[in-house]
Amino acid sequence: MMLMLIRTTATRTFFSSPHARPLKRTALLLLPSLLRTPIAGAFSSSKTATMLTRRTPQEVQLEIKDPVDSTALEQAKAILDELRPTTAAANGNDQQQQNSCSPDALLSVAHRLGDIPSDGAGSDAYIVSPSRCQAAFDSLSDAERRSLLNIHRRVKVFAQAQRRSVVDVEVDIPGGKAGQSVSPCRAAGCYAPGGRYPLPSSVIMTVVTARAAGCPHVILASPRPAQITLAAAHVAGADIVLCVGGAQAIGSMAYGVGAKLDGNGAEVVPAVPPCDVIVGPGNKWVTAAKSIVNGYCGIDMLAGPSEVLVIADKTANAEIVAADLIAQAEHDVVARAILVSDDAGIIDAVNTEVSSQVDALPEPNRSTAKEALGQSFSILCKDMDECVAMSDRLAPEHLEIQTAESQKVGDMCANYGGLFIGTNCAEVLGDYGAGPNHTLPTGGTGRYTGGLSVFNFLRIRTWMRIDERESCQEMVEDSVRMARLEGLEGHARAAEKRRV
């Protein structure tokens, strides 16, 4: 039953997509009237099976869920505590936790959880040397190096344009000046997943953006990094590359790691500075750890499963629409692909194409995509206005418009993470560095937030200065009066001290 399937998705372990950024985990909940509706061939390999179960707008609504898995939260907290062991306080009676992570504790956790081999070469190295990253880049083919450099250039150009869009400002106020100053945080932490597939694109999207913001220090963490991941770290300009993942990576970046010393007190592994902000998607332990350190440092968001919604009319190319839906479905078994249309014919045509194309995928992509498609669906609307309203209600991470008037329809849409206008604008082009960042809000959070950008690494701070005491007297009297209306006598008297 579809309701059972969707609810299972809402409460199961969520693994983050590399392109997802929600603050709340959400599910698309199908209403009880659907309990009698079977999923026709959702997991069938038949080329005529209906992969996207058809729904009406009334049958779909948004349900908000806690983004943090409770078991993962307990486990992440235990790991973070292990990274910073307690020591005797100065008074000799109490215990206090270390400010930074112990390098020995980090190695112990990394060995136990399989980030680093427990014996042999490299068993005591949790930082990848710059020379190894350079060698990884050099080992690529000419075509691979060219593509990596092209992606880096496009993402950098866009991020630098974002940085130029926000500037220092100064205005006149009574008796003086007020303004804002824009400056980067000191150290940025970037996480790139290293599980099912290597994700060098996530390295570029996070590290390059932090660099464009002007952060002096950029730390990257990725477990068991592939050669292409290390090559991307070299191109993007990461200062330190940690080859650890999960909660231990987030803790290392949040609290920093002390220098590892040999028996003679000489430094053998440099210290890792604590980061002011940590960004990037990851698994459920990454998400849990980010929720714990949030406040101690900043985070971008708590990432969840990836999603795409395609608005298509009768003019859409069913083969292309199906390919884009499958591309999202292969991310993870909890990814979601949604087709919204005012034309039943295009829905049928896309379903036929999805069934055919998904069977042509290699493994494990095929099985992953099929399971994700089992919780995906199409929505038949009465007209394009209802299609837009349905999309705005769901606020998808990726929104594709494939209609006769794609720009016009795109301009009508209000809620989304990233907008992809027209048949030629494949969402996967955004994944791989057209320019805008691919780390986007999921699960309906596009209603109130946007994707990763230089602004995540910037501090916009305000200041004011009074040069002429006589000219600010009206402001002084306004402050005195308002303070007493609020019952804050100390405020009023502090303002009175500025009277002439």
Distances (CA, A) of 136 to 64, 201, 394: 42, 15, 41
Per-residue three-class SS string for 212-272: HHCCCEEEEECCCCCHHHHHHHHHHCCCEEECCCHHHHHHHHHHCECCEECCCCCEEECCE
Average pLDDT over residues 290-300: 96
Task: In whole angstroms, give the CA distance from residue 500 to residue 497.
Answer: 8
Q: What does the pLDDT look like over 388-399, one tens digit per residue?
A: 999 999 999 999
> 69 near 302, Cβ under 8 Å?
no
Q: In what order do the strands lie in the sheet with 307-312?
A: 53-55, 377-380, 336-341, 307-312, 398-402, 418-421
Tell me the backbone φ, ψ of residue 368, rounded to 5 degrees: -60, -50
Report, as an integer, the average pLDDT of 471-489: 98
- Indicate the pairing of strand 176-184 with strand 169-173: antiparallel
Distances (CA, A) of 405 to 312, 313, 362, 384, 469: 10, 10, 35, 11, 59
pLDDT, position 94: 65
The pLDDT of residue 98 is 78
Average pLDDT of the residues in 240-249: 97
**Whether residue 22 has pLDDT greater than 60:** no
Distances (CA, A) of 89 to 79, 93, 94, 101, 102: 22, 7, 5, 17, 17
Amino acid making up residue 326: I
Over residues 318-377, the pLDDT tens digits come to 999 999 999 999 988 989 999 999 999 999 999 999 999 999 999 999 999 999 999 899
How confident is the prediction for the chain on average, in pLDDT?
A: 88
Q: Please give the average per-residue pLDDT across 245-262, as a whole number.
A: 95
Ranking 13-17, 53-57, 113-117, 460-464 by mean pLDDT, the lowest is 13-17
Judge whether 202 and 280 are in contact, CB under 8 Å. yes
The whole-number pLDDT of residue 4 equals: 28
Buried b (16+ CB within 10 A) or exposed e, 468-479: eeeebeebbeeb
Dist. CA 472–CA 375, nearest whole Å: 63
Closest CA to 159 of 365, 453, 397: 453
Q: Residue 263: what pLDDT?
A: 85
Q: What is the C-alpha R_g of the chain?
A: 26
Span 169-180, pLDDT tens digits = 999 999 999 999
Q: What is the pTM assigned to this prediction?
A: 0.86
Query: What confidence score (pLDDT) does residue 95 get?
Result: 67
Per residue in 188-212, pLDDT tens? 999 999 866 788 999 999 999 999 9
Q: What is the largest CA-CA distance in the chain?
A: 86
Over residues 31-43, the pLDDT tens digits come to 433 333 333 333 3
Query: Is the link from the previous residue into 38 a cis peptide, with omega within 30 of 0?
Result: no
Is a pLDDT exceeding 50 seen at residue 20?
no
Question: 16: pLDDT confidence band, cut at 50, 70 and 90?
Answer: very low
Other C-beta atoms within 10 Å of 92: how many? 6
Q: Which range, of 26-40, 131-145, 411-425, 429-443, averages the lowest pLDDT?
A: 26-40
Q: Cα separation of 257 and 82, whole Å?
A: 13
What pLDDT is stored for residue 125 in this prediction?
Answer: 87
The pLDDT value given to residue 89: 61
**Quick check: 425 pLDDT over 70?**
yes
The C-alpha atoms of residue 144 and residue 256 are separated, in whole angstroms, by 33
pLDDT per residue over 365-386, tens digit each?
Answer: 999 999 999 989 999 999 999 9
Judged against a pLDDT cut of 60, whether residue 467 lies above it is answered with: yes
pLDDT tens per residue across span 49-91: 568 888 989 888 766 667 788 999 999 999 999 999 887 666 5
DSSP string, 374-415: TT-EEEE-SSHHHHHHHHHHH--SEEEEESTTHHHHHHH---
Cα distances (angstroms) measured from residue 269 to each of 96, 124, 262: 25, 9, 9
Task: Decide: 401 and 410 in contact? Cβ < 8 Å.
Answer: yes
What's the pLDDT tens digit per position in 144-159? 999 999 999 999 999 9
Active site residues: 397-398
Give the pLDDT score at 442. 85
Strand duo 187-191 + 277-279: pairing: parallel
Tokens of 51: 């992969």
Residue 30, pLDDT above cutoff 90: no
H or E stretch at 25: strand 25-30
Cα–Cα dist 266/33, whole Å: 69
d(CA 362, CA 202): 23
Per-residue CA distances from 437 to 21, 26, 240, 306 (Å): 11, 22, 22, 14
Q: 14: which DSSP letter? A: P
Query: Residue 61 contacts by C-beta under 8 Å, 6 or more apart in sequence?
Result: 28, 29, 31, 393
d(CA 375, CA 394) in angstroms, rounded, equals 15
pLDDT over 80 at 14, yes or no? no
Q: Over pLDDT 70: what percentage of the chain?
A: 86
At which residue do the structure tokens 């990596």 appear? 148
